[in-house]
Amino acid sequence: MDFRCPLCWMNLKQRKLSQAIVARMEIDCPYCRNRIRLNVHPAEVVIALIDFGIVIVLVALAYGYRSQGLALAALGAAMAGALALPLLQKTWLRNWPRYAPMLRAPDA
């Protein structure tokens, strides 16, 4: 992933911990003070939704059948999904820009 600001090209990968934890779609670049938005790749959305669905189904089945094996499978699916996104970012989405400039509405 390319973590540079699309406006001033400063690297935003090492943001403050408070900024990194709060997941927002829009942030202000700490260098140029311009508003930028998170640029989410469609593959990230698909992987997150599929993983969430698998975990929900496995948890429901584990609850219904009172199965510890299914509960462990749900935990494993959650861990696999948590690992899949950073792995996707480091391999397939290496050049994908993480941030995009905000589009301003035209003045009326």
pLDDT in tens, the chain (108 residues): 899 999 999 998 886 555 555 566 888 888 999 989 889 999 999 999 999 999 999 999 999 999 999 999 999 999 999 999 999 999 999 999 999 998 765 554
**Owning domain of residue 34:** 1-40+94-108
Domain count, the chain: 2
28 with 65, same domain? Answer: no
34 with 69, same domain? Answer: no
99 with 84, same domain? Answer: no
Distances 17 to 21, 34, 47, 65 between C-alpha atoms, Å:
6, 20, 25, 41
17 with 47, same domain? Answer: no
CB-count exposure of residue 22 (10 Å: 0-12, 13-18, 19+): exposed
CB atoms within 10 A of CB 40: 13
7 with 49, same domain? Answer: no
